[in-house]
Amino acid sequence: MTASCPDRTMSKTPTVNPWQAWMLAARPRTLPAAVTPVLVGSALAWSDGEFALFPALAALLCALLIQVGTNLANDYFDYVKGADIAERRGPTRAAQSGLIALPHLRLGILAVFALAAFVGLYLVVIGGWPILVVGIASLISALAYTGGPFPLGYHGLGDLFVFLFFGLAGVCGTYYIQAQRLGPLVVMAAIPVGTLITAILVVNNLRDIATDRQTGKRTLAVLIGAQATRLEYALLVLVAYLIPLTLVLLKWSSPWGLLPWLTLPWAVGLVRRLYRTDEGPRLNRALAGTANLSLLFGVTFSIGLVL
């Protein structure tokens, strides 16, 4: 699955070389969504004196590979299922625009996920069967997000699975492979990471409501409508900022844990923008802004946890 800054099918296919085409399909702007959970999980491990460099780096590499593989799979399956049409208001898709042939894209998906599994073996050796379960579930969900007989993103389940894997699994898994244990603080710290990364997907789905409805892609935004989707976004952002405050009030974190609140004005601005526009270009900017917010929140949250 992906909590991405998704792509736009344009009226004219851009002229790019093969490297640029693969970079387009990989969607590097989405990669902060893979970095933030590992960053926060490693910060928690550091604060507990459990930080381990090589497991942390392996977790980061594995998360990045799964994110890229998911992006490639989404590009492929959305085109095959007819969800990518000329009216889409997001950036260019490699398969739909013909920049990458479908057989080549399938090989790319297989290669990236195989590499992720290879790196994951090292993590399984360290973390044991819990990491094996999370790893297998991550790979299956990455493919099932838009592929398979019951694509999660086509049945209103994308938001839930993004929260579970980018929030709970990402943060808790990263911490576990370093500390070999979990605690309530780790689970609580995973919540704002998951909600903000889910908010990225919410903006994407809000932008694509009309074309998703037209092609039969029943995202949660299609099911609940535009206004409820905007409310969902606002609530996800609200929860993200309440968690650091809760941790401080419970004395699970020092006052430094409120560092993410420095980004609150930016978050409020994004919520207001979402309520004020239906235009594709402005929603694309809100989407990119939410992705950047999730990363900056994660950085400040990590610093606060370490301090």
Nearest residue to 284 (alpha-carbon basis) of 208, 197, 185, 192: 208
Q: How many CA atoms lie within 13 A of 149 on its CB side?
A: 0
Q: What's the mean per-residue pLDDT of the chain?
A: 89
DSSP string, 138-204: HHHHHHHTTSSSS-GGGBT-HHHHHIIIIIIIHHHHHHHHHHS---HHHHHHHHHHHHHHHHHHHHH
Average pLDDT over residues 6-27: 67
Residue 222: phi and psi, rounded to 5, are: -65, -40
Condensed to tens digits (0 to 9), the pLDDT of residues 223-270 reads 999 999 999 999 999 999 999 999 999 999 999 999 999 999 999 999
9 has a pLDDT exceeding 50 = no
How many H helices and E strands in the chain?
Answer: 13, 0
| Higher-confidence position of 279 and 167 | 167
Q: How confident is the model at residue 211 (pLDDT cuts 50, 70, 90)?
A: confident
Question: Would you state the structure tokens that stand for residue 116, as one six-digit string?
Answer: 């992720």
The neighbouring-strand residues paired with 300 are none
pLDDT band at 8 (very low <50, low <70, confident <90, very high): very low
Q: What are phi and psi of 17, to 5 degrees?
A: -85, 170
| pLDDT tier, 7 (very low <50, low <70, confident <90, very high otherwise) | very low
List, in sequence order, every residue forming a beta bridge with 155; answer none if it has no partner.
218
Contacts of 121 (CB under 8 A, 6+ apart): none
DSSP 3-state helix, strand, coil percentages of the chain (rounded to 5)? 75, 0, 25
Task: Tell which wins on pLDDT, 297 or 284.
Answer: 297
Q: Is the predicted pLDDT of residue 289 greater than 70, yes or no?
A: yes
Which contiguous run of DSSP H or E holds residue 46?
A: helix 32-47
Q: What is the band of 92 on the pLDDT scale with cuts at 50, 70, 90?
A: confident
Average pLDDT over residues 280-297: 90
The string of pLDDT tens digits covering residues 119-130 is: 999 999 999 999
- pLDDT category at 85 given cuts 50, 70, 90 is low
pTM (2 decimals)? 0.89
Instruction: Please tell me the number of Cα atoms within 13 Å of 290 on its side-chain side.
Output: 32
What is the model's pLDDT at position 236? 98
Q: Of 22-31, 52-61, 214-223, 293-302, where does mean pLDDT reach its minimum?
A: 22-31
Q: How would residue 4 be classed by pLDDT, with cut points 50, 70 and 90? A: very low
**How high is the pLDDT of residue 90?**
64
pLDDT single digits (tens) 42-66: 999 999 999 999 999 999 999 999 9
At 84 the pLDDT is 65
pLDDT of 12 higher than 50: no
C-alpha span between 80 and 285 (Å, rounded):
27
What is the pLDDT at residue 86? 61
Could you read off the pLDDT of 163-179 as tens digits, one per residue? 999 999 999 999 999 99
Q: Are 294 and 252 in contact (CB under 8 A)?
A: no
| Percentage of the chain modeled with pLDDT above 70 | 92
Nearest to 202 by CA among 31, 86, 33: 33
Entry field: residues in the chain? 307
